[in-house]
Structure 1
Amino acid sequence: MKLTKYLNLLLLTAFFIFSSCVILKQSSKPTLFLIGDSTVKNGKGKGDGSLWGWGSFIGNLFDEEKITVENDALGGTSSRTFQTNGLWDAVLVKIKKGDFVMMQFGHNDSSPLDDTARARGTIKGIGMESKDTYNPIKKKQETVYTYGWYMRKFINDVKAKGATPIICSPIPRNPVNNDKVVLANDSYASWAEEVAKAEKIDFIPLNQIIKDKYAALSAAEVKTFFTEKDHTHTNEAGAKLNAAAVVEGLKKLKQNKLNNYLK
């Protein structure tokens, strides 16, 4: 009887030690947090309606024994509403020293500042301008800032946590027009790069990397990466191409420690 109790105690102790080691290992692993709009995570990130964001596939390109990849992007958000709707606060509280935060915003920032549908727009540019406006969604006054102001807020918050911020320029929309690939410049891609340079953080020219890939393809081939529902959202093939493009850009950032966790 005593031997049985001793063995049970020994097994229980071993279980607690093992569980503690697993928890310690998990907590010591860095996390790559992804924040952005629907082109990073569409819906719940499970391909509803054949719509996919690149954040749903990029985890497959990392060694998840060494790093956790968490996709906290949300469709419909801008750099402004990701913060003002409390989404950023929910991510920020989880960030610890040694983590990474990769951000991609811009697709929704060009929306109106105070429309009754979303009220998600930001002032164009990266300056310090602001505008006091009535937010009809929240039914209160709100001071709205520039795209660059909100991006700097993300960066400063991440740095304050001892983590590493990385900006990706927004993916290009479907460039096929009248059965031709028409590659246009994107102001938000340029502003994203300007903010990264000014704040001395790493930047992935995702917009240009993907456009370079499209330039080598026919219009029919490019169309296979997008859904037929709109000219912005990618299907599974497009999201996987974009995820690979993110990693392609990351590999060129020789000093970025996130490269150590790639497969």
Structure 2
Amino acid sequence: MRNLLRLGLCCALLAFSLRAQTPDSNPNGNQWTDPALDNAKAEAAFKPIAHPGLPTLWLIGDSTVRNGDGQGKGGQWGWGDELDPFFQIDKMNVVNRALGGRSSRTYYSDHWSRILAQVQKDDVVLMQFGHNDSGPLDDKARARGTLKGTGDETQEIDNPITRKREVVHSYGWYLRQFVRETKAKGAIPVICSPIPRKTWDEITGKIHRDQYGTWAHEVADQEHVGFLDLNEAIARAYDAMPHEAVEKLFADPHTHTSLEGAQLNARLVISTLRALNPNPVRTWLSKEGDSIPAYHP
């Protein structure tokens, strides 16, 4: 009997030890999921490329570009899934590879290499990050924040999600990596400022302009690449509308757009794209895309 009790105790201790080593919990007892599994699940929802041999407009970013699996769960839609009508999609591809919850940092570290491997010469890569970059660097649930600004400063952390040491860079540094690595493939990078949240300035009564938009513009100027000021263009559109009308463009308190909001933002993406000179997508536009006036601030 005593030997059986010892055996049972050893088995229990072994089971506890194995549980402690699984990715379901961290050393502090907080529940978390292996980010590699999360990323694989998220990427599995990507739509296949319709015409692999044709030129491609790639979209990378966060949930305001592609929400969830792009099917409007909870009434939330990203503008990237509403671009197809504005392009000749029988002659090129619009491939939305944005992922909800990602910052410039986590997209770059977890996903970018697999997207970049598919990018071909003369493709266009449209990028929009910033909504998720302002969080803590070492948050136990997300750990996705970046250093503010566009500088080359770094901060080394113990990442509580990956359980590894990590050197975290600035928001601008990550944008520069996307740009430079896209150029190295012979493709064309275009930076977007993040679309505005539904937050009105208490003094002016206008939509709040985001600092990340300023930093995105700085990087575009530094790298001599196209820039779409979605933050300003969409904020101006909201400012011209009654508050009640702007409310209908959102599916949550202030960040994620409804289908109507995503469609409006998609039109403004095309409007700002049409203003680029040189314009890398001009020959790809459909009649509907060509009919949208170019945005001029």
Which TM bucket (shorter chain)?
0.7 to 0.9
Q: Which of residues 31, 50, 54 in structure 1 aligns to 2:75?
A: 50
TM-score under structure 1 length normalisation: 0.87
Distance 2:96 2:52 in 1: 18
Shift, 1:215, TM fit: 1.2
- In structure 2, the residue matched to 1:137 is 161
Aligned sequence identity (%): 48
Letter in 1 for 2:56: T
Q: Secondary structure at the match of 2:63?
A: coil
Shift, 1:177, TM fit: 7.4
Distance 1:43 1:183 in 2: 26
CA contact (8 A) 2:195 2:234 kept: yes
Alignment of 1:1-263 (within 5 A): 26-85=51-110, 87-176=111-200, 181-227=205-251, 229-263=252-286
Q: Per-residue CA shift, 1:109-153, capped at 9, x if unaligned?
A: 001100101000000000000000010000011000000000000
**Structure 2 residue runs without a partner (length 5+):** 1-49, 287-297
CA contact (8 A) 1:176 1:219 kept: no
Distance 2:200 2:77 in 1: 19
Q: Quick one: structure 1 residues 77 and 146, their matched pair in 2 at CA, closer, same or farther if it must change by over 3 Å?
A: same
Distance 2:56 2:205 in 1: 37
Distance 1:177 1:26 in 2: 45
Q: Secondary structure at the match of 2:281?
A: helix
Q: Per-residue CA shift, 1:128-183, capped at 9, x if unaligned?
A: 000000100000110000000000000011000000000110000013579x9532
Shift, 1:217, TM fit: 0.6
Distance 1:74 1:34 in 2: 10
Q: Secondary structure at the match of 1:41?
A: coil
Letter in 2 for 1:194: E
Q: Per-residue CA shift, 1:20-47, capped at 9, x if unaligned?
A: xxxxx94442001100000000000010
TM-score under structure 2 length normalisation: 0.77
CA contact (8 A) 1:181 1:218 kept: no
Q: Per-residue CA shift, 1:198-238, capped at 9, x if unaligned?
A: 100000111110011111111001111001x3310000000
Distance 1:199 1:176 in 2: 32
Q: Per-residue CA shift, 1:64-100, capped at 9, x if unaligned?
A: 0221000000000000000112x11110010010101
**Structure 1 residue runs without a partner (length 5+):** 1-24
User: How many residues of Structure 1 are paired with residues of Structure 2 in the alignment?
Assistant: 236
Distance 1:47 1:209 in 2: 24
Distance 1:46 1:134 in 2: 36
| Greater length-normalized contact order (CA 8 Å, ≥ 6 residues apart) | 1
Distance 1:124 1:168 in 2: 17
CA contact (8 A) 1:34 1:72 kept: yes
Distance 1:76 1:182 in 2: 27
Distance 1:193 1:248 in 2: 17
